[in-house]
Amino acid sequence: MSVTQLNLKEEKKPAQTAQVVTFNPSPATKPFGTRLLQNGRQMMAQLLPPLITLVLIVLLWELVCSSPTSSLPAPSRVLEESWELIAHPFYVGQGIDQGMFWHIFASLQRVAIGYALAVVAGVALGVLVGQSQWAMRGLDPIFQVLRTVPPLAWLPLSLAAFRDGNPSAIFVIFITAIWPIIINTAVGIRNIPQDYQNVAKVLRLNGFEYFAKIMLPAAAPYIFTGLRIGIGLSWLAIVAAEMLIGGVGIGFFIWDAWNSSLISDIIVALIYVGVVGFFLDRFIAFIGRLVTRGTANA
Amino acid sequence: MAQPYLSLEFIDKTFERNGTRSEVLKQISLGVDKGEFISIIGHSGCGKSTVLNIIAGLIDATSGAVFLDGKHVDAPGPERAVVFQNHSLLPWLTVYENIDLAVSKVFRGKKSKAERHAWVMHNLDLVQMAHAKDKRPAEISGGMKQRVGIARALSMEPKVLLLDEPFGALDALTRAHLQDAVMEIHARLGNTMIMITHDVDEAVLLSDRIVMMTNGPAAKIGEILDVPIARPRNRIELASDRTYLKCREAVLKFLYERHRFVEAA
């Protein structure tokens, strides 16, 4: 019994490899239409499941909120009530009466400044803490305490210091994003393999060369983990901070809509916040992939 | 009396960890002539890698000193290039860039940009890796990585090339290829080379002298064996060569009769 089975297997094997050989050149020679169909099918396989889930969720929401006494609007009512808002994202009006795009843009600007400062300071401090035992012992306990302070708790203090809403919001972003950047950078620096350090020593790289050519690329995967967590937290914090400081910005827009009982507008704004946050995360991940190409798999 | 090109004089090394001192090396003295190929062999844990790291300057000796070409050595430097056991190529650089990093650093101001490029390519040619110059280390095989590691070390134009179990992680066939490549390079360039190994055949095939170390703690040089076989050497002819077999037997007797490694089961 087993012998015949073994024979069968062996006969099958060459046939399989032969198939693989002919398989390779085939995509190039296939007609364009077939390739398009193949690609389209792959795209569908990727897009279909999330689309189906989305439709189901919207249907469920419509069902649950369809009664006239419901406290939250159903999707159809959101569309109806906030159509102005959805249709004219680039609308320019007086004061805080702006299209969604401008609110998001204002928030993104604050995040960009605060986050950029956090990246520079965070990577610098992370390198310091990762490199030096003394800096680690001196600074780490302070970082560990400060990083547990909720972002919004910094806001009154920064308002007192800056006496203006905008820099205060930027400071809140900065202080929120910096901790994961510092901590991950430090871990990355401390994990640089001894081999790379030996290579640097044999080559007698000076401090700056070591920093630029060994340290940063070796720690890059860790640093980008920190950067990704940081951007997520920044986006979380900006909405809360803007609710309190007022002015143009997605956070205050939501708060203002609540005060005017425009629940549908709030829902539109939340969708915007979610989508923008998603793209921010993907954007940092994309840059990370570009920069750390080849680093992850040694 | 003429001083040898590289000399180790009364090297002691003790490590101290958590208050317990362990003596690793005791009174290691060795002279190496220019162009000589030396192997250091011993059981694992005998401190042979420590000897190499002390010559490289990566570890400080507790007492004693290393002199190279008349100068005292106490820090790492490119004139004592190391081929590391696990190649230690930087994964984010291509093969070319890995060697260029060394060449740019060592020859900055001494060679023009075009000369440096030519020198990188020359060293890649030496190890027959020019075809893979734009690949990243992750995309080439273990043997190829080690070839590039050798090219990087050679590109620094070292006075001594230090090889730390360079072929330990490779399969037997690849290892033989690389041994031949190293022999050829040694014949062509006449480098002074010191190789750490635990492979008896490798030691006899490549070396002019084999330094045999006793077991630790406090390892010493037990014996130094001359390998009086003419070069170029051919591994197939040597397989039945009487001198080769006698040398091999001498090393084996040292390692397995007089200095058996008790802990090795």
The residue type of B227 is V
Q: How far apart are CA A177 and CA A281, in angstroms?
A: 13
Could you report the per-residue pLDDT of A43-65, keeping only the tens digit for each?
888 889 999 999 999 999 999 98
Better pLDDT: A158 or A35: A158
Query: In terms of Cα–Cα distance, which of B44, B33, B39 is closest to B203?
Result: B39
Q: How far apart are CA B57 and CA A290, in angstroms?
A: 36
DSSP assignment of B38-86 equals: EEEE--TTSSHHHHHHHHHTSS--SEEEEEETTEEE-S--TTEEEE-TT
Least Cα separation, residue B139 to chain A (angstroms): 9
Q: Are the Cβ atoms of B101 and A201 closer than 8 angstroms?
A: no
Q: Which of A196, A202, A293 sits opposite B90 (nearest CB)?
A: A196
Q: Is the pLDDT of residue A9 over 70?
A: no
Q: Are the Cβ atoms of B90 and A202 closer than 8 angstroms?
A: no
Contacts of A215 in chain B (CB under 8 A): none
What are the sequence ranges of the domains in chain A? 2-64, 84-291
- Hey, of A194, A197, A202, which one would you mutate to test binding to chain B, going by the most B CBs within 10 A of its CB? A202
Could you report the per-residue pLDDT of A237-276, keeping only the tens digit for each?
999 999 988 888 999 999 999 999 899 999 999 999 999 9
Nearest residue in A to B107, CA atom: A203
Contacts of A205 in chain B (CB under 8 A): 105
Q: Is the pLDDT of residue B171 over 50?
A: yes
Contacts of A193 in chain B (CB under 8 A): 88
Taking the mean position of all CA atoms in its chain, how far away is CA A33?
A: 36
Q: Are the Cβ atoms of B91 and A199 closer than 8 angstroms?
A: no
Q: Are the Cβ atoms of B78 and A204 closer than 8 angstroms?
A: yes
Q: Are the Cβ atoms of B78 and A213 closer than 8 angstroms?
A: no
The tokens of B228 are what? 């009086």
Residues A200/A210, Cβ–Cβ less than 8 Å: yes
Could you report the per-residue pLDDT of A181-192, keeping only the tens digit for each?
999 999 999 999
Which residues, at least 6 apart from B101, have a Cβ–Cβ distance to it below 8 Å? A203, A213, B90, B93
Question: What's the pLDDT at A94?
Answer: 81
Q: Is the pLDDT of residue A277 over 90?
A: yes
Check whether domain B1-79+162-263 has CATH 3.40.50.300, yes or no = yes
CATH class as words, domain A84-291 = mainly alpha
Q: Which of A205, A294, A298 sits opposite B105 (nearest CB)?
A: A205
Q: Are the Cβ atoms of A203 and B101 closer than 8 angstroms?
A: yes
pTM, whole model, 2 decimals? Answer: 0.78
Nearest residue in B to A204, CA atom: B77
Q: Are the Cβ atoms of B77 and A202 closer than 8 angstroms?
A: yes
Q: Is the pLDDT of residue A178 over 90?
A: yes
Q: Is the pLDDT of residue A296 over 60?
A: no
Q: How far apart are CA B194 and CA B4, in angstroms?
A: 14
B57: left (phi > 0), else alpha (psi -120 to 50), else beta? left
Helices assigned H by DSSP within A24-152 = 26-29, 32-64, 75-81, 83-87, 100-131, 133-146
CA quadruple B196, B200, B205, B208: dihedral positive or negative? Answer: positive
C-alpha Rg value of chain A to the nearest Å: 27
Least Cα separation, residue A295 to chain B (angstroms): 5
Contacts of B138 in chain A (CB under 8 A): 294, 297-298
Contacts of A213 in chain B (CB under 8 A): 90, 101
Could you report the per-residue pLDDT of B106-161, keeping only the tens digit for each?
998 898 999 999 999 999 998 889 999 999 998 999 899 999 999 999 999 899 99
Could you report the per-residue pLDDT of B218-248, keeping only the tens digit for each?
888 988 999 999 888 998 888 889 999 999 9
The residue-averaged pLDDT of A24-42 equals 69
Contacts of B80 in chain A (CB under 8 A): 202
Query: In terms of Cα–Cα distance, which of B183, A200, A162, B221 is closest to B166?
Result: B183
The residue-averaged pLDDT of A16-42 equals 60
Contacts of B81 in chain A (CB under 8 A): 202
Residues A264/A186, Cβ–Cβ less than 8 Å: no
Query: In terms of Cα–Cα distance, which of A288, A238, A254 is closest to A115?
Result: A238
The tokens of B29 are what? 């003295």
Nearest residue in B to A206, CA atom: B105
- Give the residues across from B83 on adjacent strands: B163
What are the sequence ranges of the domains in chain B? 1-79+162-263, 90-157
Q: Is the pLDDT of residue B19 over 90?
A: no
